[in-house]
Structure 1
Amino acid sequence: MVNDVLTGAFAPVVTPFLSDGRPDVDRFIAHCRWLLAQGAGLAPFGTNSEANSMSALERMALLDALIDAGLPPARMLPGTGACSAPEAAQLSRHAVQRGCAGVLMLPPFFYKGISDDGLYAFYAEVIARIADPRLRLYLYHIPALSGVPISHGVIERLLRDFPGIVVGIKDSSGDWDNLRTMLERFPELAIFPASESFISRTRPLGARGCISATVNINPGPISRLVTQWDGPEGQVLQAGVDRVRQIAQARPMIAALKEVLAEGLGEPGWRRVRAPLVGLAPEAAQALHAELAEAGFKL
């Protein structure tokens, strides 16, 4: 049994930017403090962090800023995926050396049609380059964006050859059958669905929580659902977080999350995204806020 894996609701932390395009370090730290205070964990440099629009140096500098500001690395699962094994290893080694609980690693996402042997070889090379027994690697299965599915065969080989190193996976496939099969087939794996909408179905099967975009704006209720899914308020909590999720994901998610933060905090700078993304149009933003207000949502 793995006994040092993470549990809870984790936010792929949205990254604020200054008017000149640089990451807004102070606002980033403040957002992460608020997420932790609401009971959530931090998964910076995930998909909704715009991580693949950032350099490795920017990602490492932001991680350093969080930890140097006193935020606990034991509640951090930074994204360290890259198309090259040396860069993925560099990002991961840095996170391990800073004491992070684990790293969340995309497959190499440029080449398509990769064989299981090739994908296994990539992860094996990254692990060898890091060469640190403290590494806790969480795979990141998001085939709709990466174009590179992580098959059950690859998971089985990695668990066999790197026990205690490969410890978990985020499943962003949205495929209930795949998620349920992984929970049944790999009970030793810390499995995190990418949506809080799966919590009540997956917690009884052993899922550890979720790593979800909307934790950025709804951390308290989602965190409570992870621990109280089977309590008297479980169904009410599930219905509430589902409604917020449905409203947010009906728009471009990153722009929607930043719009909610900008409006709720009175900080227009939150609306900035990096090209090639664009923010919500004013009419789309108005509709978003109207729907959230109708649902009783408050940041």
Structure 2
Amino acid sequence: MFSGSIPALVTPFADGAVDEAAFRRLIDWQIESGSSALVPCGTTGEASTLSVDEHHRVVQICVEQAAGRVPVIAGCGSNDTATALMHMEHAARYGADAALVVAPYYNRPSQAGLIAHFSHLAKHSDLPIVLYNVPGRTVTDIEPETVCDLVNLFPDRIVGIKDASGDLSRVVDHRMGIGRSFCQLSGDDELSLPANAAGAAGCISVTANVAPKLCAEFQQACVDNDFALARKINDRLYPLHYAMFEDSSPAPVKYALSRVHDWLNDSVRLPLTACSEAARKAVDEALVHAGLLETA
């Protein structure tokens, strides 16, 4: 259902508010550069600091600006099942193509709790669900058996997963356990190459915010089974993948965007702060290595 390079979009701010004009411009640039879908209001979009009204407005803008050119997978996750469902209802109303739903964070539900959470969402919304497993942030891990159980329970509702567990064996676990086409997307840019080789279909990417054309070309090389070219592009991007996390995300990627576009700034919302001098240095060097800046 989804494949290729899919940026987890930043949410631009200006004077403390969502910068709608810059966000629309970012969306156009992403699509023109080859991004195959868009994810507003994910972790990189600072969804945890957006008000409910802002969250829904950002999704609405994304759908409007994409205008059917690429699918929109709206971030709808919450540690409260009712709130997640409410986000899904709004995303469906605006015309999003799917919901990215992270494992509930802080509550630390059991695997049975995860099944109950995602089952409730699947039963009460027609919007397709892409599971989001990122135990480094949520603590809770959606284990492979749970993923397989959920997909087999709701084959028409739970259509994919963004996996940021760092465990590449899960690509095969999911494929073997589900026994049919299931959209697996890497949640870690630096692991997208081996994940694709194992059967993933693409990446929901932080790096694609700042290097959309290169990320799209990398994913296309994988589709074409041209892994020599994929490795070559990956080598250009590899330092940038790590530089995006030299400080609390998305501060480094917002700084990177401010370096390549004068219409974007590096503003983040508290409790995040602008990235450190060391992180800026790492980002600058990685941008030069990727050929996105001439000099640091």
The TM-score normalised by the length of structure 2 is 0.90
Closer, same or farther in 2 for the Cα pair 1:291/1:104, shift >3 Å?
A: closer
Closer, same or farther in 2 for the Cα pair 1:287/1:192, shift >3 Å?
A: closer
Closer, same or farther in 2 for the Cα pair 1:228/1:164, shift >3 Å?
A: same
Deviations 1:103-130 (A, max 9, x none): 1001221212x22211111111122332
Question: Which residues in structure 2 correspond to 1:58-97 (within 5 Å)?
Answer: 58-69=54-65, 71-72=67-68, 74-97=70-93
CA positional deviation for 1:178: 3.1
Q: 1:146 aligns with which of 138, 144, 149?
A: 138
Answer yes or no: is the 8 Å Cα contact 1:184–1:205 preserved in 2. Answer: no
Answer yes or no: is the 8 Å Cα contact 2:38–2:70 preserved in 1. Answer: no
Closer, same or farther in 2 for the Cα pair 1:147/1:292, shift >3 Å?
A: same
Aligned sequence identity (%): 24
Match of 1:208 in 2: 201
CA positional deviation for 1:261: 1.1
Q: 1:129 aligns with which of 119, 124, 127?
A: 124
For residue 175 of structure 1, give the secondary structure of its aligned residue in structure 2.
Answer: coil
| Matched letter for residue 214 of structure 1 | T
| Matched letter for residue 104 of structure 1 | L
Closer, same or farther in 2 for the Cα pair 1:286/1:156, shift >3 Å?
A: closer
Matches of 2:242 and 2:198 in 1, distance apart? 24
Question: Which residues in structure 2 correspond to 1:256-271 (within 5 Å)?
Answer: 256-267=252-263, 270-271=265-266
Matches of 2:43 and 2:84 in 1, distance apart? 15
Flag structure 2 segments of 5+ consecutive residues without an equivalent: none
For residue 10 of structure 1, give the secondary structure of its aligned residue in structure 2.
Answer: strand
Match of 1:195 in 2: 188
The TM-score normalised by the length of structure 1 is 0.89
CA positional deviation for 1:70: 5.2
Flag structure 1 segments of 5+ consecutive residues without an equivalent: none
CA positional deviation for 1:180: 3.9
CA RMSD of aligned residues (A): 2.1
CA positional deviation for 1:176: 2.2
Alignment pair present for 1:293 and 2:288: yes
The size of the alignment, in residue pairs, is 289
Alignment pair present for 1:164 and 2:159: no
Q: 1:115 aligns with which of 107, 110, 114?
A: 110
For residue 257 of structure 1, give the secondary structure of its aligned residue in structure 2.
Answer: helix
Answer yes or no: is the 8 Å Cα contact 1:73–1:98 preserved in 2. Answer: no
Match of 2:99 in 1: 103
Matches of 2:27 and 2:66 in 1, distance apart? 11
Answer yes or no: is the 8 Å Cα contact 2:172–2:199 preserved in 1. Answer: no
For residue 122 of structure 1, give the secondary structure of its aligned residue in structure 2.
Answer: helix
